[in-house]
Amino acid sequence: MAYSSEVYAAARRIIDERRSAADREANIRKSDVYAKFPAVRELDNQLMREMAGFSVLMLREQKETGAAISEMQDKISRIQSEKAAILASNGLPADYLEPRYTCNKCSDLGRKNGILCSCYKEVCREQALRELAASSGSAACSFDNFDLSYYVDNGASDGTNPRRKMQNYNNFCINYAKGFSNDSPSIVMMGKTGLGKTHLSLSIAKTVTEGGFGVVYAPAQKLVSDLEREHFSFSGSDSAARKYAGCELLIIDDLGAEFPSQFTTAAIGNLINERLYENRPTIISTNLSGKELAERYSERTASRILGEYRKLYFVGEDIRFLKNR
């Protein structure tokens, strides 16, 4: 499982700033105590000298150093006790001069014994969710607030029950998101505008991101714009292409709303083919029918989507219209 390099870099900056802030605050407290109680400064200077000597002794592999080590440990302990006594007599805890790190496990280093600390993973998760909210323009969509009351609970003209069908789709998406893996199938959500396709795709994105996977959400128009800008910039950069092709889950929202062009057709087709070849799940939402997909992106691309993606046909009335009437 992996987030984007941008997420890891942002999380690293947050962790580093936490440690720096804790060190700065500790230095302020230390300066204040030293000014009021010079004896504490002298004890700290003694402690640093003894600790340096102790380190040198520990590096020597000689039997005769055993007694010296024991003697130095006693001296260090006495200095620490004397320092703690001065602090205590002035109503301060023994560790008052020590940095107060956010994470007690790794001291805000982000790693412990060479392994990523849980605090760093949590910051990555929070940062990934922030980036998802920023890219989608909404942090509110979740499975919990997918409102089935907007779908009628009776037989439609085609014999389906919209509410029951959308309840099944909601349950399917919940299970898909909670059990997401690199082997999960791709999904295409089809249907008229305002039926909840974006809401459910973003709900999946949020849950999958919380699970530690790298998710990229993009409206089709932005995705094509990013790829086109990079392709014709002649800068040699392929960061956008790598982001969209290499993420663990790509969500393309509102496919068909982008400006049609020869480049668009090729870019969408190539991206879909590459992700299928690399077995990387993709979720597409679109207002286009199967016929319209073929007319817009070629028979081959439409065949890939309709033949290899799990198809969810959304039904009902435009929820945006229902909310505002």
* Domain formed by 137-324, architecture: 3-Layer(aba) Sandwich (3.40)
pLDDT of residue 235: 66
Residues contacting residue 259 through CB under 8 Å, at least 6 positions apart: 221, 224
User: In whole numbers, what is the pLDDT of the chain averaged over residues?
Assistant: 89
pLDDT of residue 41: 94
Give residue-wise pLDDT tens across range 163-193: 999 999 999 999 999 999 999 999 999 999 9
* Structure confidence at residue 64 as a pLDDT band (50, 70, 90): low
| DSSP state letters, 233-284 | T-S---HHHHHHHHSSEEEEEEET-SPP-HHHHHHHHHHHHHHHHTT--EEE
Query: Quick check: 304 and 276 in contact, CB under 8 A?
Result: yes
Number of H-type helices and E-type strands within the chain: 12, 7
Answer yes or no: is pLDDT of 195 > 70: yes
Sketch the domain layout of the chain as residue ranges.
5-116, 137-324
pLDDT of residue 184: 96
